[in-house]
Amino acid sequence: MSHTQMLYVCMNVAIIAPNVPALYEAHFGIPMSGAVLNTVNIRLNASTIAFLLGHSKSAVVFVDQEFFTLAEDALKIMKEKSQGNFKHPLLIVIADESCDPKALRYALGKGAIEYEKFLESGDPEFAWKPPQDEWQSIALGYTSGTTASPKGVVLHHRGAYLMSLSNPLIWGMTEGAVYLWTLPMFHCNGWCFTWSLAALCGTNICLRQVTAKGVYSAIAKYGVTHFCGAPVVLNTIVNAPPEDTILPLPHVVRVMTAGAAPPPAVLSAMSQKGFRVTHTYGLSETYGPSTVCAWKPEWDSLPPETQARLNSRQGVRYIGLEGLDVISTKTGQPVPADGKTIGEIVMRGNVVMKGYLKNPKVNEETFANGWFHSGDLGVKHSDGYIEIKDRSKDIIISGGENISSVEVENSMYLHAAILEASVVARADERWGESPCAFVTLKPGVDKSDEQRLAEDIMKFCRSKMPAYWVPKSVVFGPLPKTATGKIQKHVLRAKAKELGPVKLSKL
Amino acid sequence: MSHTQMLYVCMNVAIIAPNVPALYEAHFGIPMSGAVLNTVNIRLNASTIAFLLGHSKSAVVFVDQEFFTLAEDALKIMKEKSQGNFKHPLLIVIADESCDPKALRYALGKGAIEYEKFLESGDPEFAWKPPQDEWQSIALGYTSGTTASPKGVVLHHRGAYLMSLSNPLIWGMTEGAVYLWTLPMFHCNGWCFTWSLAALCGTNICLRQVTAKGVYSAIAKYGVTHFCGAPVVLNTIVNAPPEDTILPLPHVVRVMTAGAAPPPAVLSAMSQKGFRVTHTYGLSETYGPSTVCAWKPEWDSLPPETQARLNSRQGVRYIGLEGLDVISTKTGQPVPADGKTIGEIVMRGNVVMKGYLKNPKVNEETFANGWFHSGDLGVKHSDGYIEIKDRSKDIIISGGENISSVEVENSMYLHAAILEASVVARADERWGESPCAFVTLKPGVDKSDEQRLAEDIMKFCRSKMPAYWVPKSVVFGPLPKTATGKIQKHVLRAKAKELGPVKLSKL
């Protein structure tokens, strides 16, 4: 199979829904009908949804009742832009008793078919269609707006199958696991856990909305054994008010986290509460996490801070991933395993996407020299574990030296008043760029004197890191996030740009 | 891939060894060198080994020092039969400190190369060879003499990979499992657990010889979490004298058993001692077990005897097996799922062998209509679980009615004096065939009056089964077994033949 071919999919079915049972069912029913499943991020706006429904040519759209008007708006935009060529997709609305019944009535009034009625109209004798070729597409998911134009990641049956089997193997999941859906299923098919749970005869607990209270009560009520979440989800759990928690936990709960490296302070706090955190890393293009920071027995006896530091590494490849390396962006050769030399993280093998839909040029760049180029920068340690230092575009270059925004953030999370921190490059008259920190404070922190707080934070940073790493600017306020809880650094970079360059006088 | 093509393998390396580390290493080193691994059953005689070394054209032979003269004898036979064409393979002897040093000196004196020296002569920079095609052969194993001429089962990388991942998933094995090698690695590559353990970063505990004492002390000493064994191994453990056991077990130990359906009495006794028995079923042709009697939560509250009866079913397919069915031997159509209609168990998919080596005619029969024909007869229950009733050739046809020898045996195992029982057809002047039971008694049973014992057993059987199932003959003595502990019914059938037909007068 060549990754650089022009990719099309034959028949696309889109679904716009939070973590409800119908979305889980769609992961089976749609591929079994021979179509490709296109899960849509519910937090996108109507015009972006219009773009991707058009780009994927989705012939059928399933939509949760709460998001019906969003879908309606998207279809309106498509129609307006179509110049008379618009073909209205089959529209199916998913009812949910926990939602406002008016929304359902509205949808039905607009001619949408109710989901259960739609299922009843099916042929119970329908012979499901196994893929004719295991490289056939199973799912399509659009990357969520950290770049200007969403790209359609096309996944194949072979990769989805192997990732589904790899997930439980690297995470101690056994038959009958009880999995809580905190991770959106629309995000890279819930990292393929949708299919893993079926392979394990496990139980799926669906959550429409993720709150600390919802997570703790599901653990107590349903015996949840496993859930996944971006570091910000962990943050929510760690900083939940006591009345929302149920502690001590009735049993060990395993949590998988991915995305950015979770700050050691958060990892440590989770561990103290009895959550066993497994840190993984991957991308939508690799079916979700495809590397894991495999815990070594000899780490058991280390101090908690050292444990957290080691556990924030991105680790080693999943069993289903054939190749993983860190290569020099200049020479294309593997970097030495010295824990210092930064290169780009690259992957290859079964759990790497087919390519981006209808995007041969980007595919060619992305798969240059037979590797999938992640765009993440990292190092290789002597034990073979990789560790992300930054996204290519997140690295801060100050006076010609690289500053890892992730490392600055990790140190900042140790500050008692900081709930969340994100560091980006800000133009700097003297150094070219310097770190600019955006910070959310913990509830209860006195926010009256921001100047004093900022100085205190900078002082704290000076005690933890080289002087040139210390943020020259600290900005307070809520952080912009994607639907999956990733902090949108491109928004912060835009804000940093608005601030203008750090003046020479500031030194 | 067609299963019926003429199968050859390019380069074969044979190894004749009990469960020692070198045999485990061979499962990696030999395929990584690009060769095919041929594991040889150590309990075969020299002429059979001569046949299969010749048939497989093994260019290199590794042999454990204890079995050196066996290999030597086999090579002598090959030379004698070769009419001058014999090419002596490279002979490498594996030393073991626990064995008689004379045997090693003898082997070295005969020019064999010592294993560790051989490894030292290798190139540490050698780039291992991944398979160019995943259907490439990885291993060859000969079926162990239940038929006249051994057939060479050729396994491919794809199947071995998927079986290695399926094993832990159906058996609750997680990272760091401690696996005890009671099952011979030479038997179907230890059901692929050789590779599973590597995938799990597990620990392998090797046992040269399986004794109850050895098993119990390994559990206590090394924290064994899992081991496999034919039902006769379970029998040994259950009937071990108290001084050989360490009970209660220090932790739950999971035991996988396969081969013939384990008698419910044995399953029940294992469970009472704290072993958690998983019952699986498969053949060398399906990479070892490929179906599992998946335990249902609702079985937890059933009486132990009902649990054991349900757990003696062969179950449902492994995740890696694509197709499993029971089909009518007359029509080729699936039998109804009524728990009664007997048909042949058939499989297809990734974990089915490539075919038998150099045996296109048998391959054609074995893979007729796209299914692998197991030769085992069974039924399908309404919940989809299959249950073996007998091997095709083991079924007893009495007065035109089928008698499942397995079911007769299962009932006999409930008798307090019976250690092992095996039932075969004996010619019968009135009924054509009738059941003939071969029985081994438990230690301590008074064996002085065999006639009375036989009558007591028959009386016991009459209380448990239809009259025509009751063995008309009961013969006492040790049972002949294959290297893997399977009772050799063909030997018993020959003995039954020697007894002559059951006379009409006996009624």
- pLDDT reported for residue B203: 97
Q: How many CB atoms lie within 10 A of CB B89?
A: 19
Question: Chain A within 8 Å of B170 (Cβ-Cβ)?
Answer: yes
E strand spans, B67-143: 90-94, 113-114, 137-142
One-character DSSP codes across B15-64: EE-SS-HHHHHHHHHHHHTT-EEEEE-TTS-HHHHHHHHHHHTEEEEEEE
Question: Chain A within 8 Å of B294 (Cβ-Cβ)?
Answer: yes
Distance CA B113, CA B11 (A): 20
Mean pLDDT for B194-220 is 96
pLDDT classification of B44: cutoffs 50, 70, 90: confident
- pLDDT reported for residue B129: 80
Contact A432, A399 (CB under 8 A): yes
Question: Chain B within 8 Å of A165 (Cβ-Cβ)?
Answer: yes
CB pairs under 8 A between A and B: 35
Query: Are B172 and A175 within 8 A, CB to CB?
Result: yes
Question: Chain B within 8 Å of A168 (Cβ-Cβ)?
Answer: yes
Higher pLDDT, B169 or A389: B169
Question: Chain B within 8 Å of A297 (Cβ-Cβ)?
Answer: yes
Closest chain A residue by Cα to residue B318: A199
Q: Who's near B391: CB < 8 A, 6+ residues apart?
A: B375, B376, B377, B489
3-state DSSP assignment of residue B219 = helix
Return the closest-CA partner of residue B491 out of B187, B203, B148: B148
- Chain B hits for A319, CB-CB cut-off 8 Å, are 165, 199
* Phi and psi, residue A100, nearest 5°: -65, 120
Tokens of A213: 């209270």
Distance CA B390, CA B490 (A): 14
One-character DSSP codes across B259-270: SSPPPHHHHHHH
Question: Chain A within 8 Å of B172 (Cβ-Cβ)?
Answer: yes
- pLDDT reported for residue B147: 43
| Residue to test with chain B: of A1, A128, A158, A165, most B Cβ within 10 A | A165
Picking from A174, A199, A294, the nearest residue to B172 by CB comes out as A174
Distance CA B392, CA B146 (A): 13
Query: Are B169 and A200 within 8 A, CB to CB?
Result: yes
Over pLDDT 90: what percentage of chain A?
71
Taking the CA of residue B296 and the nearest CA in chain A, the distance in Å comes to: 10
Task: Please provide the size of chain B in residues.
Answer: 507
Residue bearing tokens 């006076």:
A399
Over pLDDT 70: what percentage of chain B?
95
Question: Chain A within 8 Å of B200 (Cβ-Cβ)?
Answer: yes
Four-residue CA torsion sign, A246, A252, A255, A261: positive
3-state DSSP assignment of residue A87 = coil
- pLDDT reported for residue A145: 45
Buried b (16+ CB within 10 A) or exposed e, A321-334: beebbbbeeeeeee
Contact B387, B313 (CB under 8 A): yes
- pLDDT reported for residue A496: 94
Taking the CA of residue B233 and the nearest CA in chain A, the distance in Å comes to: 26
Query: Are B294 and A175 within 8 A, CB to CB?
Result: yes
* Helices (H) then strands (E): counts for chain B: 16, 24
Instruction: Please report which residue ranges of A133-263 form alpha helices under DSSP H.
Output: 157-170, 188-191, 193-199, 212-222, 231-238
Residue bearing tokens 């028949």:
A11
Among A59-63, A134-138, A431-435, B217-221, the minimum mean pLDDT is found in A431-435
E strand spans, B251-305: 253-257, 275-283, 288-292
pLDDT classification of A338: cutoffs 50, 70, 90: very high
3-state DSSP assignment of residue B284 = helix
Query: Are A319 and B169 within 8 A, CB to CB?
Result: no
Mean pLDDT for A310-327 is 93
Give the amino acid at B360: P
- pLDDT reported for residue A9: 60
Question: Chain A within 8 Å of B174 (Cβ-Cβ)?
Answer: yes
- pLDDT reported for residue A258: 84
Q: Who's near B448: CB < 8 A, 6+ residues apart?
A: none
Q: Mean pLDDT of all residues in chain B?
A: 91
- Chain B hits for A173, CB-CB cut-off 8 Å, are 174
- pLDDT reported for residue B144: 57
Residue A328: pLDDT over 90: yes
- Dihedral of CA atoms A335, A287, A237, A98 in degrees, nearest 10, equals 170
Question: Chain B within 8 Å of A319 (Cβ-Cβ)?
Answer: yes
Over pLDDT 70: what percentage of chain A?
95
Tokens of A238: 């760690």
Query: Are A175 and B175 within 8 A, CB to CB?
Result: no
Distance CA A358, CA A55 (A): 9
Contact B38, B11 (CB under 8 A): no
- pLDDT reported for residue A392: 74
Query: Are A169 and B172 within 8 A, CB to CB?
Result: no
Mean pLDDT for A7-27 is 90
Taking the CA of residue A61 and the nearest CA in chain B, the distance in Å comes to: 31
Mean pLDDT for B250-261 is 85
Among A251-255, B127-131, B165-169, the minimum mean pLDDT is found in B127-131
pLDDT classification of B259: cutoffs 50, 70, 90: low
Query: Are A168 and B170 within 8 A, CB to CB?
Result: no
Closest chain B residue by Cα to residue A174: B172
Mean pLDDT for A86-108 is 95
- pLDDT reported for residue A347: 98
pLDDT classification of B410: cutoffs 50, 70, 90: confident
Closest chain A residue by Cα to residue B170: A175
Give the amino acid at B163: M
Residue B257: pLDDT over 60: yes
pLDDT classification of A505: cutoffs 50, 70, 90: low
Mean pLDDT for B83-88 is 88
Q: How many CB atoms lie within 10 A of CB B465?
A: 18
Q: What is the edge-to-edge ordering of all strands in the sheet holding B253-257?
A: B203-206, B178-181, B226-229, B253-257, B275-283, B288-292, B316-317
Closest chain A residue by Cα to residue B297: A176
Query: Are A172 and B174 within 8 A, CB to CB?
Result: yes
- Dihedral of CA atoms A283, A288, A294, A299 in degrees, nearest 10, equals 70
Taking the CA of residue B35 and the nearest CA in chain A, the distance in Å comes to: 21
Query: Are B201 and A294 within 8 A, CB to CB?
Result: yes
Residue B436: pLDDT over 90: yes
- pLDDT reported for residue B496: 93
Mean pLDDT for A133-147 is 81
Residue B507: pLDDT over 50: no
Set out the domains of chain A in order of their start, with CATH numbers: 1-130 (3.40.50.980), 154-394 (3.40.50.12780), 397-506 (3.30.300.30)
Q: Mean pLDDT of all residues in chain A?
A: 91
Taking the CA of residue A172 and the nearest CA in chain B, the distance in Å comes to: 5
Look at strands B372-380 and B343-348 and give their pairing.
antiparallel
Query: Are B199 and A169 within 8 A, CB to CB?
Result: yes
Contact B253, B219 (CB under 8 A): yes
Q: How many CB atoms lie within 10 A of CB B397?
A: 13
Higher pLDDT, A361 or B145: A361
Query: In angstroms, what CA-CA distances link B10 with B96, B278, B363?
Result: 31, 37, 19
Taking the CA of residue B415 and the nearest CA in chain A, the distance in Å comes to: 35
- pLDDT reported for residue B320: 94
* Beta bridge partner(s), residue A386: A315, A380
pLDDT classification of B242: cutoffs 50, 70, 90: very high
Residue bearing tokens 């162990």:
B144
Q: What ipTM does the predicted assembly reach?
A: 0.84
pLDDT classification of A301: cutoffs 50, 70, 90: very high
Cis upstream peptide for B264 (omega within 30°):
no
- Dihedral of CA atoms B215, B216, B220, B222 in degrees, nearest 10, equals 0
pLDDT classification of B429: cutoffs 50, 70, 90: confident
Residue B51: pLDDT over 80: yes
* Phi and psi, residue A120, nearest 5°: -60, -30
* Phi and psi, residue A19, nearest 5°: -75, 80
Question: Chain B within 8 Å of A199 (Cβ-Cβ)?
Answer: yes
Higher pLDDT, B7 or B32: B32
**Through-space distance between the first and last CA atoms of chain A, rounded to whole angstroms:** 56
Question: Chain B within 8 Å of A169 (Cβ-Cβ)?
Answer: yes
Q: Who's near A431: CB < 8 A, 6+ residues apart?
A: A398, A399, A468, A502
Tokens of A19: 């973590």
Distance CA A303, CA A437 (A): 29
Distance CA A213, CA A245 (A): 6
**Per-residue pLDDT tens for A141-198?**
998 544 456 899 999 999 999 999 999 999 999 998 999 999 999 999 999 999 999 9
- Chain B hits for A297, CB-CB cut-off 8 Å, are 176
Return the closest-CA partner of residue A475 out of A506, A431, A435: A435
Closest chain B residue by Cα to residue A198: B319
Question: Chain B within 8 Å of A172 (Cβ-Cβ)?
Answer: yes
**Per-residue pLDDT tens for B164-205?**
999 999 999 999 899 999 999 999 999 999 999 999 999 999
| Residue to test with chain A: of B1, B164, B173, B175, most A Cβ within 10 A | B175
Residue bearing tokens 């079985």:
B299
Residue B86: pLDDT over 80: yes
- Chain A hits for B297, CB-CB cut-off 8 Å, are 176
**Through-space distance between the first and last CA atoms of chain B, rounded to whole angstroms:** 56
pLDDT classification of A465: cutoffs 50, 70, 90: confident
**Residue A280 DSSP symbol:** E
Tokens of A16: 């716009």
Taking the CA of residue A348 and the nearest CA in chain B, the distance in Å comes to: 15
